[in-house]
Structure 1
Amino acid sequence: MNKYRWQAIVFVLVAFMLGCNEFIVVGVLSDIARELHVSVATVGYLVTIFATVYAISTPFITILTNRFSRYKTLMVIFLIGNTLSGLANSFTVLLISRVITAVVAGAIISLIMTFASAIAPREKRANLVSWIFAGFSIASVFGVPIGTAISTSYSWHDAFYLITVISLITCGLLGWLLPKQVEQVQGSIKNQLVLLADKRIYIGIALVLFTAATMYAYYTYIRPILTTGLGFSTASLNWLLFLIGVMNILCNRFSGMLAERDGLKQMPKFYVADIALLLILPWGMSSKLGGMAILLVLTLIVTLINSPIQIHFLNIAEREYPQSTVLASSLNSIFFNFGISLGSATASGMLGVVGLQHISWGAAGFAAVSLVLSVVLNRAIRQAATAN
């Protein structure tokens, strides 16, 4: 196996590690709430807080560590934060540990994306980017269900310890496989931020944010939706999460295929489908099979934007703002997490107002905003192409 393939594998492993850490709380909400004597809704806000800190800190950490060699320091901080999560014996300590990991997680993935962009042959870049995103999905397929199984059989603390072991292995592989020097255009903070003034960039950022909000306005409470809402047993939960994760992996592979075929032009029709599915989900929940089928189709299409928008950001930065390439590589993860924060907070609010049955209506509203933004972004891209 050539070195590039090993590098690609370790990039996916980094995404898997970060995905396990970020999403594990979704699978063990009830267990944490029971042990720490807080409500499930309170634990749900850990998702919101993690995503908010991730999104706010990532641009600053990314700009300040705009050198490839800094990933080692970031990984050590991540290890400390994740291990502290495992050791937490109170909600306050758990919250602090989640903030520590959130501060560096976004900068780690942005540097990995930039490494991938620098290392991959141009014709393989969209494929590699889609696999890195798939690493997060693989975490939901294998990592989160395994973590949930460990939590229910032993303790949620042990699930975090397993992530620490994976992180140590990943650190060793990164040190072995990553090149010591990669050509990089340096720029001042001001010069890096000029990227954000481009219409094609800031509309794309808004689209990422509202797409993530669409997903997490219902996915934050996926465990109660499956058990309380659809009536599945707790024993079948791992298999159901596994199925959802498989669809997420397929979504990322499909997203990579779209990125190779000017996928942004095709996004509006998928947002229309999102809106329709989210509006009918409350009625679909009257049937186990019907409700599960809607959730699986939603998972297949709800984040198809990931690879096309990542390649969009990188291409514009490389052509017109080369000093901002690392920042461009982080935009998707930064604003996806702002969207997670918005979506999970909306889900928590909707839960108290309309109940679990109709929680997807908030997500449908975000999907409608995403539809409008996708149309506007395509128009801005056409206008820029005409002007050039």
Structure 2
Amino acid sequence: MLQMVNAEPHRRGREKAPLRKGLTLSALALGTFAIGSGEFGTNGIIQLYASDFDSSISLATYAVTAYALGVVVGSPLITVLAARLNRKTLLLGLIGLFIVGNILSAMATSIGALIAARFVTGTVQGAYFGAAAVVAAYVYGSGKAGKAFATVMAGLTVATIFGSPLGTAIGQSFGWQWLYIAVSALGLLAGMALYLWVPKSADLSGGAISRELSALTRRAVWAMIAVASLGISSIFAVYTFIGPYITDAAGVSKAVIPIALAVFGLGMAVGNQVGGRLADRFVLRGLVLGYALVLVFLVVVALGGMWLPALFVGLFGVGASAMMAIPSIQVLLTRFAPEAPTLMGAMNLAALNLANALGAVGGAIALSAGFGTLSTAWAGFILAISGLLVLALTIPRSLQRLSPAESVE
């Protein structure tokens, strides 16, 4: 009888552990969902706030650019300055700053004020993803860093399917300010979930600033940033121009655009999950496979995009294959700089925002040259090939320098 009594609490503890793990991961993903909804939702309300501020569309898009600049510049800086903080404390602080940034966005009375508010909000994204990836890896345990990062990214991919369209609809129905109010409320919910469910373990304590900065002296880290920026830009050479693909290339109603966006987002979600599993088993192969497949689907879009079924297949495939590579990029970055996993997560997101700009610019150049609507996919093809070339010339040699315990397949 004594053995049965003593065993019962242990059994209940084992039953609670998976629940606690699930709650922690859900809290992390809720934060990325809120962040992604605000980021992508802004694209859908540009015309609304441009009209309110009597601004041109070209000037209004600087609010989107300012957000990306905040990610690229601000997130790594915040990560380094907050190096000593426990990851839970850092996550709570970042969600607080996210809420403030979105409230300031909703209160903006000029286009300049909105641009400044979006920059502040953007500084959160990369730092949050980096810290969340560290916490997720701690929860999953050793050898599952790819799956951990994919879990964190899941909130962002879901935002492309549901959060962004819903946020845009809120802005169109009640005023663009309400998008940011709704996103602030999501941020508050995420903050409460993080406070309740993320453990404040000594294992999640920060370290010296010098340790984080030392990672930036490694050539392999910068090579991976180049690989990510070039290869993932292929996503945005397509995603940015989905509207013209539907109305001009395929020649169907603009009412189909939300469906096309959802198809692309669904592909991203699927690719993210597959990529997380590949990254933990065959990290380099997962990256190469993702980039190789994206080349195939870019050709499908470029050659068959005038036929709607082929366009949908291509959009799903580009989203899935490019996202398949992102967890591998994160794992490789942390292999090259294991002492700075949070900073590497922030740098990965910074690279993705650079990719956003590269893809949009590459596609715009193709259009300006008069090559036709679907030519943006060829621009993405060239960028992805460039990423593969940088990968082939730099990364295998860098992997050879790792110790056997750090090497990857």
TM-score by length of 1: 0.88
Where in structure 2 are the equivalents of 1:218-233 lying within 5 Å?
A: 218-233=238-253
1:278–1:360: 8 Å Cα contact kept in structure 2?
yes
Where in structure 2 are the equivalents of 1:321-332 lying within 5 Å?
A: 322=339, 324-332=340-348
User: Aligned match of 2:382 in 351, 365, 369?
Assistant: 365
2:263–2:312: 8 Å Cα contact kept in structure 1?
no
Structure-2 residue corresponding to 1:47? 64
Report the AA paired with residue 11 of structure 1: L
Given the alignment of the two structures, is residue 204 of structure 1 paired with residue 221 of structure 2, yes or no? no
User: Aligned match of 2:353 in 332, 337, 343?
Assistant: 337
Query: How many angstroms apart in 2 are the aligned matches of 1:15 and 1:365?
Result: 30
Structure-1 residue corresponding to 2:3? none
Higher relative contact order at CA 8 Å, sep ≥6: structure 1 or structure 2? 1
1:248–1:299: 8 Å Cα contact kept in structure 2?
yes
1:264–1:305: 8 Å Cα contact kept in structure 2?
no
Structure-2 residue corresponding to 1:241? 261
Where in structure 2 are the equivalents of 1:29-40 lying within 5 Å?
A: 29-40=46-57
Q: How many percent identity over aligned positions?
A: 23
User: Aligned match of 1:56 in 48, 70, 73?
Assistant: 73
Query: How many angstroms apart in 1 are the aligned matches of 2:255 and 2:386?
Result: 37
2:249–2:305: 8 Å Cα contact kept in structure 1?
yes
Cα distance, 1:332 vs structure 2 = 1.1
Query: How many angstroms apart in 2 are the aligned matches of 1:380 and 1:226?
Result: 43
Given the alignment of the two structures, is residue 305 of structure 1 paired with residue 325 of structure 2, yes or no? yes
Per the alignment, in what secondary structure is the counterpart of residue 70 of structure 1?
helix
Cα distance, 1:256 vs structure 2 = 0.9
Given the alignment of the two structures, is residue 278 of structure 1 paired with residue 295 of structure 2, yes or no? no
Cα distance, 1:377 vs structure 2 = 4.5
Query: How many angstroms apart in 2 are the aligned matches of 1:304 and 1:135?
Result: 15
Structure-2 residue corresponding to 1:120? 140
Per the alignment, in what secondary structure is the counterpart of residue 359 of structure 1?
helix
Per the alignment, in what secondary structure is the counterpart of residue 281 of structure 2?
coil
Per the alignment, in what secondary structure is the counterpart of residue 305 of structure 1?
helix
Q: RMSD of the TM alignment (CA)? A: 2.6
| Structure 2 CA distance for partners of 1:186 and 1:4, relative to 1, 3 Å | same
Given the alignment of the two structures, is residue 20 of structure 1 paired with residue 37 of structure 2, yes or no? yes
Report the AA paired with residue 207 of structure 2: Q
Report the AA paired with residue 285 of structure 1: G
Compare 347-356 and 247-256 and name the one that shifted more. 347-356
Query: How many angstroms apart in 1 are the aligned matches of 2:250 and 2:106?
Result: 31
Given the alignment of the two structures, is residue 65 of structure 1 paired with residue 82 of structure 2, yes or no? yes
Runs (5+) with no aligned partner, structure 2: 1-17
Runs (5+) with no aligned partner, structure 1: none
1:47–1:341: 8 Å Cα contact kept in structure 2?
no
Per the alignment, in what secondary structure is the counterpart of residue 2 of structure 1?
helix
Q: If you compute each CA radius of gyration, which structure gives the higher value, 1 or 2?
A: 2
Report the AA paired with residue 25 of structure 2: A
User: Aligned match of 1:186 in 171, 184, 207?
Assistant: 207
Compare 195-204 and 256-265 and name the one that shifted more. 195-204
Task: Kindly provide the CA deviation profile for residues 130-173 of structure 1, in whole angstroms up to 9, marking residues without a partner as x.
Answer: 12111110010110121233234443332222111111111111
User: Aligned match of 2:150 in 130, 154, 159?
Assistant: 130
Structure-2 residue corresponding to 1:10? 27
Query: How many angstroms apart in 1 are the aligned matches of 2:131 and 2:325?
Result: 20
Given the alignment of the two structures, is residue 257 of structure 1 paired with residue 273 of structure 2, yes or no? no
| Structure 2 CA distance for partners of 1:125 and 1:103, relative to 1, 3 Å | closer
Cα distance, 1:123 vs structure 2 = 4.5
Where in structure 2 are the equivalents of 1:137-152 lying within 5 Å?
A: 137-152=157-172
2:136–2:151: 8 Å Cα contact kept in structure 1?
no
2:250–2:305: 8 Å Cα contact kept in structure 1?
yes
Query: How many angstroms apart in 1 are the aligned matches of 2:228 and 2:66?
Result: 18
Per the alignment, in what secondary structure is the counterpart of residue 196 of structure 2?
helix
Query: How many angstroms apart in 1 are the aligned matches of 2:306 and 2:58?
Result: 24
Given the alignment of the two structures, is residue 374 of structure 1 paired with residue 391 of structure 2, yes or no? yes
Report the AA paired with residue 4 of structure 1: K
TM-score by length of 2: 0.84
Cα distance, 1:185 vs structure 2 = 5.7
Query: How many angstroms apart in 2 are the aligned matches of 1:266 and 1:120?
Result: 20
Report the AA paired with residue 353 of structure 2: N
Query: How many angstroms apart in 1 are the aligned matches of 2:144 and 2:286?
Result: 21
| Structure 2 CA distance for partners of 1:71 and 1:155, relative to 1, 3 Å | same
Query: Aligned pair count?
Result: 383
